[in-house]
Amino acid sequence: MVDEESSDRSALGRWLALVRFAAGRIATQARRTPRRTAVTVGLVAITIALLVIVTGISVALAGDTAADDNEADLRVVPHEGGTFSPVVGVEGPRLSDVHDRTETIDDRADVDYATPVLMEVVQARSPEGNGSVNVMAVGVVPRESSPPVGGVPTDPLEPGDPHYANGSYDGTRTGDVVLSTAASDQLEASEGASLVVRGSQMTANASAGTYEVTAVEEADTASLSDGLPVVVLRLSELQTLTGADDEDLADQVLVGTDSDDAHEAIEETYPNATVESGTEPGLAALQEDDLALATSLITLIVGIGICTLFVTTATGLLVERERRTLAVLSAVGFPGRSRLAVVAVMTLTLTVVGAAVGIALGYAGVAVTNWIATSTVTSSPIATTDPLFVPYALAIAVVAGLFALPYPLYLTTKTDVVAELRQ
């Protein structure tokens, strides 16, 4: 037992000595050829920095689509997903019987509000005008303290949806709409103006109606709908215009609550839907947004590939410069496994150092990106950071280093000891 413990300590001491030796060789190379070392570290750093920046933008995008456009605590969406997208006119799965089910949720004491949301592309024009403008129509059931939807406040609309009339859709039409400033500009309509709104020609059972502009509201500049012409009206009236009244359809339901009991009640009310958090922070937000997740995955794959190529090339040149040292190690009795370990440690050390520099550059890049964005096109940051970015980036760099290892190790095994010692 004592001999085994002594052998383990001896093996650990040898490995630590190899690591110290490899680190010393890197320090020596950095002093002798600072430009080459800087280029190696810099290439890895740039790759990791770009990875951090793109991931930060993806996380912010995922958070924005879920939270900024519809500032609700919870969102009830079909299983296939229901994230708001500026790509309009594309229908996906929808929720049915939303008026009655949402009313059940809204009646709970631990729920501040619950409102269904339907988004459709419709055509709008002034009564005297000939040309129609395609706009994004957002149908809601206004509630007190309801959040902005599609970046546009719903406060100007009186609470309630009288046209629904318990599913008969023969109640009083209010004829009120709220326009975003983009819609107001394109329609040349101000508060008090009349508009003719018609369902899209591509929609079956579409109809038209005349509406009055109750208010013109500035869309949230952090919203993905910023710049889009948005018209907010009552849900049943939009359903009638677009033919979605047959099954009382909506794209999602926004719920304001922080109660776990309410969350369970929502799942019981909508057993075939998904309940998502509207304010999911950090990397977890990627799980709620397919586009942002796909962007991050593509960046991850490309980042690993590029980083692997850079490390492979740089460490191949490093082995060429270290051939004489490797030959001396062989001559003094270092086994092949030890020499390979030295090269592996040098490769991974350079990669990790480059990753550390890249993480710092990436965080700085996120700050610069946000500064440029807020100075030019938006009032809110478009990228974010997360503490998990650090282990995430380091792990990617290590994986790239491991992928790059076979080439420098192969060059190490091909070192001609006699030829190197003769030089």
> CA 272 to CA 287: how far, in whole Å?
19
Block residue for tokens 């593509």? 298
Q: How far is CA 369 from the centre of its chain?
A: 16
Block residue for tokens 């299983």? 79
Task: Give pLDDT, residue 370.
Answer: 83
DSSP E strand stretches across 251-354? 252-256, 273-277
Task: Give pLDDT, residue 69.
Answer: 47
> CA 258 to CA 89: how far, in whole Å?
33
Block residue for tokens 């009349």? 194
Question: Are 151 and 65 contacting, i.e. CB atoms less than 8 angstroms apart?
Answer: no
Task: Give pLDDT, residue 417.
Answer: 60
Using alpha carbons, select from 198, 72, 82, 192 the residue that is nearest to residue 137: 198
> CA 214 to CA 217: how far, in whole Å?
10
Give phi and psi for 334, each to the nearest 5: -70, 125
Task: Give pLDDT, residue 337.
Answer: 79
Q: Count the helices and strands in the chain (H runs, E runs).
A: 12, 9
Block residue for tokens 């009552």? 234
Task: Give pLDDT, residue 43.
Answer: 84
Task: Give pLDDT, residue 312.
Answer: 85
pLDDT digits (tens, 9 = 90+) for 26-73: 787 778 778 878 887 888 888 888 888 888 877 776 655 444 445 567
Question: Are 254 and 77 contacting, i.e. CB atoms less than 8 angstroms apart?
Answer: no
pTM: 0.55
113 - beta bridge partners? 256
pLDDT digits (tens, 9 = 90+) for 318-375: 777 777 777 777 777 677 777 788 888 888 888 888 899 999 999 999 889 888 877 7
Task: Give pLDDT, residue 28.
Answer: 78
Block residue for tokens 């099954």? 247
In sequence order, which residues have a C-beta less than 8 Å from that of residue 331 and are 6 or more positions away?
417, 421
Using alpha carbons, select from 11, 8, 15, 1 the residue that is nearest to residue 341: 15
Block residue for tokens 């990791």? 48
Phi-psi region of 243 (alpha: psi -120 to 50; beta: other; left: phi over 0): left
Using alpha carbons, select from 402, 396, 309, 312 the residue that is nearest to residue 355: 396
DSSP 376-422: HT-SS-S----TTHHHHHHHHHHHHHHHHTHHHHHHHHT--HHHHHH
> CA 68 to CA 91: how far, in whole Å?
21
Task: Give pLDDT, residue 361.
Answer: 94
Task: Give pLDDT, residue 85.
Answer: 38
DSSP 154-198: -TTSPS--GGGGGGT--S----EEEEEHHHHHHHT--TT-EEEEE
3-class SS of residue 115: strand
Task: Give pLDDT, residue 4.
Answer: 52
51 - beta bridge partners? none
Pairing mode, strands 208-217 and 273-277: unpaired
Mean pLDDT per 10-residue interval, the chain, length 423 residues = 55 74 77 81 87 80 52 76 41 84 90 90 82 88 83 88 92 91 88 87 67 86 63 93 89 87 88 73 51 71 84 80 73 74 84 91 90 71 82 90 87 69 61
Question: Are 95 and 248 contacting, i.e. CB atoms less than 8 angstroms apart?
Answer: no
Using alpha carbons, select from 154, 155, 153, 123 the residue that is nearest to residue 136: 123
Task: Give pLDDT, residue 281.
Answer: 46
